[in-house]
Structure formats: C-alpha cells, structure tokens
Structure 1
Amino acid sequence: MENNDIKTFLVTEEEEGDRLDVYLSEQFGDMSRSYIQKIIKEKKAEVNGKVQKAKYQVKEDDRISIEIPAPKVLEVEPQNIPIDIVYEDDDVIIVNKPQGMVVHPAPGNFDGTLVNAILYHCGENLSSINGVIRPGIVHRIDKDTSGILMIAKNNNAHNSLAEQLKVHSIKREYEFICHGVFKEDKVTVDRPIGRNPKDRLKMAIVPDGRNAVTHFEVIERFNGYTHVRATLETGRTHQIRVHSMSINHPLVGDPVYGPKNPKHKFKLNGQMLHAKKLGFIHPTTGEYIEFDSELPDYFKELIEKLRKL
C-alpha cells in the first residue's frame, strides 16, 4: 500500500530458533508483540519471499521483510523543551537526557519526548533512517535512565554510528546503585537475554536469547548497597538491569526488576542508573571522541544517604 514502510532484516546465528513474531517484536522495541502478530496474520510478513505464520522459527540468513502500515494520524511536533546538549557539530549531537524523559514518541507518549525537543532544536537536520517517529535516534536509553545519548544529524553519520554499535566498538559506561554488597571487585556476566516467556513486557535470562555481556566494577560499598560501574559489550534491552538482577543485585528504585518491598524507601522516581561515558569514532573525521556526563543531583544525594547508613 502507498506510504507503507517495508523493513527487511537478516537473521544472525544467535537469533536462530526464535519465533517469527518474537524476532520481529525484538527488532521493533516500540511495537507490541500482539501488533506484530496482527501484521503477520494479515500476510504482511515474508521470509525469503514467502508468507509465514507467527510460529515460524527463523533460521540463520533468513531474509525477513515486513510491511508496516503507515501511521494514520501521527505527526511529531517540535516542542520548545530545554535539553542539555553536551556537544554538537554537523554530524552528531550528544545530549545528557534527564531521568523521566522518553527518547521518542510511542503509544502513550506522543509528546514531551527527546525527539520533540531535538526537532525544535535542529529542524530538519536529522537522519531519516529510523523514520518520522525516531529521526536521528541511533540508540536509546530507558525513560527512567539518565545520561548521555548520541543523535545523528544525517544518514551518513547514522550509518556509521549504527555500524559501530553493531560491532560493539562504541565505549558505553554506566553507573548504578544496587541492593546488596558485591563481594568481588570485578564481575563479568555473560548470559543471553530475551523476552521473558511469562511476561512479554520484561526481559530475562533465557537459553535461546541474544548474546549479552556486561562487565561490572565496584566503585564504593555501603551497608547493604553497592555503587557500581558497568561497561557494555553488547546493548540488549534492559541489559544492565537484567544482568545485575541475575547475580542477586537488582538496581535500587527499579520498578520492574527490583524487590517489591525494598528495605529502605528513598522516594525515587525510577532505577538508579546513569549513562556516564560514551566514546566512538567520529563519522567524518575518523577520530575517537569521548564524552563524560556528571552524575545527577538525586544520584549523588542518595550516595550521601547510603554513606550514613
């Protein structure tokens, strides 16, 4: 149909065995599995040129195409929202995103997002690769995760940054505060992550999930809590939150993966997770550049409270 968006994907070895609907819902983080299933039922998804059902198990090198219906009424409006721009040139913008801000519009959050703010700031000078809803967005961090994020101002920059993400060459360091005291100074978690089979809104450690590696390093220990640095090798959805929980150290303030009745109530607005450092090869100059984001005040205030426990 006219104006419909056709996306194509090539299945990798680590993705082999996923159901078609599960595979596609992971490619589109902002689309529900039920919506993907509806598209598949309407015969808008093909594997190697042949229509398949949702239960089809994808194989390595399968070429999957899916026709996404054009949004009926959805225009992303520029909004004059203050944003903390760390760096900007003709190719990239580095933004320090506050906790509570959604990165791009999605059902339930059509305005007040980082994209609305960036559109006001940049006008049309953003990459178009991810469409009208996500102009310039190369990667995301969760709504309640604060910190540094890169945005592409043109398609060449977008392709370069996306390729660096794909081969895991981008430096991404986070800091968080978790429940429990880390015994070791350094821990590496290498466990596959996929959709939780019992709750599709959550991610989990699953045998047939996608490869995920996180390196943890203790910054400071408190009475019952630990301040930790996490370095990502891969960038799966909720990776740090799931990996930390898997070793019995859920993030403080995490409403999804944290304990239901935490011992201390700190009146937090979400998980204590901050994207601290970001380093990559500049798309045009070819030089390595790195950015560091200061911990937000609420994060530093919690550290002071924990030191007094």
Structure 2
Amino acid sequence: MNKYGPEAEPVEPAIESALEDVSAGEVESATEERSLEMGAALHGQRVDKALLTLAPEFSRNHLQQLIKDGWVSLDGVVVAKPANKVSAGQLLTVQLQPTAQSQAFLPETMALDIVYEDEYLLVVNKPAGLVVHPAAGNWSGTLLNGLLGYKEVFATLPRAGIVHRLDKDTSGLMVVAKSKPMVAALVDMIARRDVSRQYLALAKRAPNARMPWQGEGDALEVDAAVGRDTSNRLRMAVVDLNTQSGRTAQTQMTLWGVTRQEGDYALLHCRLRTGRTHQIRVHAKHLGWPLVGDAIYGGAAHPAIARQALHAWRLGFVHPVTQEAMQWQAPLPQDLQQALDGLDLQPWQ
C-alpha cells in the first residue's frame, strides 16, 4: 500500500512528540471493584482518606464523589458521607467508576458534515459550538469522539488524525489525516505554509479606532506577535517579544465590505500566514476592530450571532499523494449569514 495509506509504517518519534498525544484508542473505561480490611492504622480515619489506600491513583475529590454516588460500602452497607469514620476490622469496598478523563477518547456516534474524503484524508465542516479535542469541561461530545465513532482507523492515530484546530465557537473547514504518515505530511505542510486557510470575519469598530484600510479590496498585512495576556491567562494578546514570551504571528486581512448601519461594521477576508491560538481574534482586536460577538476580546454583541463571527471559509492544498491542487469552500452558517444580510454585507465570489 502507498506509504500514506492506513496500513503505513509509523512516523518518526519526533512527530509523535510534536502532536503530544497517544493513540486515541488506548483507553480503559471498565468499572473495577476493590476491597480492603481496615487495619489498626486506619481506625477512626475518614472514609475518603481511607479510600486513598485502595485507590491512590485517583484524586480525593473523585473518591468523595464516588461516596456521594453510592459506590462505597463498609461491611456491605453503603457509606452515606465522605466524613464517616472507619473502624479496624471493617471491610471497605469501592466500585471504581471511569473518570471523565478516562472516557475522553471513546467513540461517539455523531453527524459529521464531511465535505470530502478519500483513503488518505478527509475534510470536515465543523459547526460552531463543537469542541475539537477533549479537555476540562468537555471530556466528551468533541470532534475527536465523533471521528472515533466514524471509522476505526482514527483510534490508531495521535489526536485521531486531527492536525490543526478551530476554536469551539468558530465554524468551518478542517482537514483530518487517516494514517500516521499523512499526519506527518499535513503537519509539515502547515508548518511550511503550504496549506491555504481563509476565513470570513465580521468586525465592528471599537470607540476611537482608526480605519486601517484605504477602502474595499485593500489588503492589510498584520505582523504582530501573539502571547499569553499577562492580565488574564485565559486570553491571548499582541506582545513585544523583547519583553514578553510569545510567537510571531502574521495575518492578511482584506476589507471586503464596510457599512455605517448602526455603527461601523466590516466584513474581513483573512488569510493565515501563521496559526497561533486565537490569532485572527487577537489581531482584529489589535486593529481596534474586534470580531462581533467575541466577548473575550471586547467584540460588540449582535442579535443574529451569539458567538465570535468567524468562519473558516476556504481550505486548500496540493494533495500529498495525488499531487492534485484541491480547494473546498464551506457555506456560511445561518447565524453569520443572517448578520451579514442585516448589514447588507456579502462575501466576494
């Protein structure tokens, strides 16, 4: 089989390290019963503390939740509270339940909007609201879980073949690999900027912000490093690399339309030169034109859209195997289309 196919040899360890993940299928989710007779050293201890001797790999908070859920007993009687005391000679039993984290990489049936697929890769149109990878607060229901439920091959791949991200509330196109060599090829292409990622964004002028574009069709190259916001660790910000940590970031922003209806709004066509966390959102705020609906970066609210108005509109690259130049375009989601209709702004065709 071609080296990019599903049965190809694994990629180099450096690629595995860069993707920071094990294969998605390596998960243990079964329940397990453990029992222990309480010795003299544990006499009078709280049940949740005694449980740590039975299940030291779990957090005390998780064990307390197992008690509250009725999974812990003493001499066959369900324990009511974590603060209950144990006595020497009692048999402490726990039915260990899988943690949310342990179930994070399990397959889930999900309606995926797949716009292209071959034996090497697929392109999916991600809806707004769908998280890409499992993480705290979103251990299930992610795109990764949907891919695992779609085809078994994704369970053998780092991050289920996902090679780039979109924020939860950003909609649009993503490419996913179907073998480890294809993961390596796409990661390398993205690093070399051989993958074209084009976005549509709706922005609104902040008070006292200037108009950085000369007129419709004017392209602005934004070259401003992005790093963690020192005043809010949940946000990113434009930073000075001479004094702060961060990474270089470049975005081309072309003005496709502007209106003064109910204030200044602009429809921006954005091409990523680099792919930093929240890059377009941060650069738009830096210009004084934060994205509509982007509460994190000061964007104005709009009745038609309850999220940042950002859509990964077009995706293109030369196929690593067939060498065919390929490009896909995702239709505008309903909320963004309604916002643009109300402002009489439309993408160029």
**Could you say whether these structures have the same fold, taking a TM-score greater than 0.5 normalized by the shorter chain as the test?**
yes
2:200 is matched with which residue?
175
How far has the Cα of 1:294 moved from its partner? 1.1
Give me the identity figure in percent: 37
Distance in structure 2 (CA, Å) of the matches to 1:27 and 1:123:
20
Q: How does 1:79-158 map to 2 (within 5 A)?
A: 79-125=108-154, 128=157, 130=158, 134-158=159-183
> Which consecutive segments of 4 or more residues in structure 1 shift more than 6 A?
26-29
Unpaired segments of 5 or more residues in structure 2?
Answer: 1-12, 22-99, 206-210
Q: TM-score, normalised by structure 1?
A: 0.72
Q: Do the aligned residues in 1 keep the contact of 2:104 with 2:134 (CA within 8 Å)?
A: no
1:199 is matched with which residue?
232
How far has the Cα of 1:287 moved from its partner? 2.5
2:254 is matched with which residue?
217
For residue 268 of structure 2, the aligned residue among 228, 234, 237 is 228
Distance in structure 2 (CA, Å) of the matches to 1:93 and 1:204:
32
Q: Do the aligned residues in 1 keep the contact of 2:213 with 2:220 (CA within 8 Å)?
A: no
| Partner secondary structure for residue 200 of structure 1 | coil
2:338 is matched with which residue?
301
1:277 corresponds to which letter in structure 2? R
User: Residues 160-195 of structure 1: CA distance to partner in whole angstroms, max 9, x if unpaired?
Assistant: 000011111210100000012664222110011111
1:283 corresponds to which letter in structure 2? P
Q: Do the aligned residues in 2 keep the contact of 1:147 with 1:275 (CA within 8 Å)?
A: yes
Cα pair distance change 1:127/1:210, threshold 3 Å: farther
**Superposition CA RMSD, Å:** 2.5
How far has the Cα of 1:8 moved from its partner? 6.5
Cα pair distance change 1:213/1:76, threshold 3 Å: same
Residue 286 (structure 2) pairs with residue 253 (structure 1): no
**How many residues in Structure 1 have an aligned counterpart in Structure 2?**
239
How far has the Cα of 1:281 moved from its partner? 2.2
For residue 221 of structure 2, the aligned residue among 152, 166, 188 is 188
Cα pair distance change 1:77/1:89, threshold 3 Å: same
How far has the Cα of 1:248 moved from its partner? 0.3
Unpaired segments of 5 or more residues in structure 1?
Answer: 1-6, 10-25, 30-70
Distance in structure 1 (CA, Å) of the matches to 2:188 and 2:156:
15
How far has the Cα of 1:296 moved from its partner? 1.0
Q: TM-score, normalised by structure 2?
A: 0.64
Give the structure with higher Rg (CA): 2
